[in-house]
Amino acid sequence: MEMPATPNGFQINITDKVADIVFDLHDEKVNKLTTPVMEEFDGLVEQLAATDGLELLVLRSGKPGIFIAGADIAEIAEITDPVAGAALSSKGHRILDRLTDLPFPTIAVIDGACLGGGLELALACTYRIATDNPKTTIGLPEVNLGVIPGFGGTQRLPRLIGMPKALSMILTGKPVNGRKAFKLGVVDALVPAEFAAEKVAEFAGHIKSAAGRKAVLARRNPRPLRRWLTQDNALARLLTAKVARRSLMKKTKGRYPAPLKALEVIRRTLGMPLDAGLAAEAREFGKLAVTPISKNLINLFYGSEVLKKDKGAVIDGKPRQVSRAGVLGAGVMGGGIAWNFTKADIPARLKDLNWEAVGKGYEAAANIYGQLKKRRKYDQREVDIKMHLLTGTTDFSGFGNLDIVVEAIVEDLGIKRKVLAELAGHVRDDTIIASNTSTLPITELAEGLPHPERFIGMHFFNPVNRMPLVEVIPGKETSPETVAAVVALSKRLGKTPVVVQSCPGFLVNRLLLPYLNEAVMLLQEGASPKAVDRVLTGFGMPMGPFTLLDEVGIDVAHKCAVVLAAAYGERMTNATLLECMCEDYHLLGRKGGNGKGFYLHQGKKRVANPELPAIVGDWRKANNICPRQFSDDDILDRCLLTMVNEAARCLDEAIVADPLHLDMAMIMGIGFPPFRGGLLRYADALGADHVWTRLSELAGEYGDRFKPCERLQQMTRNQREFYNETVR
């Protein structure tokens, strides 16, 4: 018996005492559990509970590559009252409890993404089957939105697979593939996607017998005594929670309340009856859903979705595909970029002046694969296959058949122009040439090239294997087709591309250098590197500015600062102490040969550089500077508000499309703390009046580099914010 599809896309078919529900949400690319969907599903479950003779219910999706993507995030974003949030969670509990309480077994067939509420619905079923489809991903990512699982995830998952394994999924929010889910015990069977229907029928026949059911349940808990000793008693849970909390605090510094609250709820309720645990989950979900951190993280989720859909330019047809790539320059960046191509299964040709340099590029790529192998992301066979995609040369042999070449040589305008001109004579007329420059204007680099329409900036961030951002920078003559092709390529490489217009420093470095420069100015005037780093990491930055300067290289930062000071004048006045440290004392940072910079770097250890106080003291005397003390607020405002001021100028100059693109670039490019929503959301939280007033005060005390730009003055007069409405 086949019933008509429901308004929200549920199709029911009953054959031989088996009810089959296929969910295919109308007019949506993914299945999601909106309130209307949940209410309709509840009615169907109630209807099936009253149907005589049913022996099994099978739930599956009608969308390829998707089971259920989760609850409706828009509904979470709209929660403003903790009680209303708890009520929404409790309503979901009641509906899924009805599914669990059906008088016959239920099977969730997971072929594709099964996340958040989708997994919670599957957990409410008696059994779960996953396919080996590469798109099958199973997880509870709610902490990434600043909340905890609200449809029973904190209760059903630990009861199913045990507290330690459940915590590894819930506290990180990271999904697992079908194979890993089967190993963890989240699903009861892993089947080939091509034969899913036959295997589901076979599994259904297996669980009809008592022996079959017993075998499935035994696999979930193969060592009951060991599990009781290690997790199913109060002491074991307390110890597990203590270790997990210590790890969380080390990773998040307590700035993200959701994983800590999830841990607390699981520890406190695991020994309780299910209904009591669900009630606790609902209360805490409601409290977290109204927090500014949750709203910020949800906005970032929407932002990431916008960037995924952004093609970079309007063109006819699909962007050009890249089949072969080249990298010019085999340093750390060049080797990392070549690795990224091979990771995406794109053959890469790596060129440098001599074989020793080429070898270092190979070594850089091999080291990254070594790290991935150590983390069990690849086995040796897979690493060997990837590395065979990388070839090296000291001339331009093999460059005649490349679709794109990325230049990653020394940051010098004259040298780059010379090398790019030579490169242009060895590639096809349709080959895209991209520069990995971090500061030099793309239009100036393109001068003299035969096809400037196919020249573009493609700025990767270091280290390439960890930093998700790529700035895509068209020059004055770059074609829309080239922009679209590089944006598509960046996504294929697993990066998030943000298109920015050409200017000295582009976007991220144009905002970052004033931040670093101001930190050094504070040091010149009396602050200590330790104090400044403490304040900024306390704010949420992944590392303090002086630690970052040592990581980047003090000489590299100084060269970039000189370029930006020449371009932007007084507001980016170069902190001259950097030049003194580089040239007079050879303090270059962690990779400077001697490991000396603002700190001493000894392997993974970082300690204060005992030479620095005398060096800074001599510099102050030479420049007639009398050191003074600074409050934490002074340090924070001087470093951050100078970035806000420059960000406002970037919007005025249309360097970046909008505040959303700017904030996403800063989060992915320098690790601006996501829980604050981005640089401009932070500014909005302070208020335009406060930002303008504070910058004016700083300008009066320290000079015109802090003078509020025109956009900030207009925002203050008109009582406007950078974000006038939530981006969705």
Q: Which residues are catalytic?
A: 471
Q: 320: which DSSP letter? A: P
Query: Which residues are 473's β-sheet partners?
Result: 457
Q: How far is CA 610 from the centre of its chain?
A: 37
DSSP string across 535-578: HHHHHT-SS-HHHHHHHH-HHHHHHHHHHHHHHHGGGG---THH
Is 346 in contact with 507 (CB distance < 8 Å)? no
- Per the structure block, which two tokens stand in for 711? 């956009």
DSSP assignment of 341-372 equals: HHHTT--EEEE-SSHHHHHHHHHHHHHHHHHH
* Nearest-angstrom CA–CA distance, 309 and 587: 44
Six-digit token string for 545: 């500015």
Determine the 3-state secondary structure of 506 from DSSP.
coil
Q: Residue 466 in contact with residue 671, Cβ under 8 Å?
A: no
Residue 157 to residue 184: CA distance in whole angstroms: 11
Q: Is 474 helix (H, G, I), strand (E, B) or coil?
A: strand
Residue 21: other Cβ atoms inside 10 A = 22
- CA distances for 67 relative to 31, 97, 114, 324, angstroms: 7, 20, 5, 35
Beta strands 137-139 and 176-177: pairing type?
Answer: antiparallel
Distance CA 591, CA 589 (A): 6
CB 678 within 8 A of CB 511: no
In the structure encoding, which two tokens stand for residue 481, read together? 């087709």
